[in-house]
Amino acid sequence: MLNIEYANITIGRAQQSKQIVVKGEITNRAGRNFDAVASRLVLFIKNIPIANTVVVVNGLPNGTTKAFEKYIEDLDYDQVGKDINRFEIYPETAY
């Protein structure tokens, strides 16, 4: 199992558009270096998934933390952003 941690996850509106942007930090505690880590991100309204995407962070050496941003192009923040009440994020693969 990959020992990858996520922190400071926020969901907000992109500055230049009406898109949703998810920001956060990813930390590698796996004991080895990775050229890339792909994480699955799912956004929910109540228990209904409204977005399902992959966040890729390149160059994540062991013990380091990197910030990431993922824009969700298909969703308008003004229409659904305030209704998002939970998210799930977990590592899918790393190499």
Residue 75 pLDDT exceeds 90: yes
Q: Can you name the residues that pair with 40 across neighbouring β-strands?
A: 54, 90
Could you give the C-alpha distances from 15 to 10, 12, 72, 86, in angstroms and in order?
14, 9, 13, 22
Provide the pLDDT for residue 6: 98
Binning pLDDT at 50, 70 and 90, where does residue 1 land? confident
Contact 25, 67 (CB under 8 A): yes
**Average pLDDT of span 60-78:** 96
Cβ neighbours, 10 Å, residue 60: 20
Please give the domain boundaries of the chain with CATH numbers for all domains: 4-94 (2.60.40.10)
- pTM across the whole model: 0.93
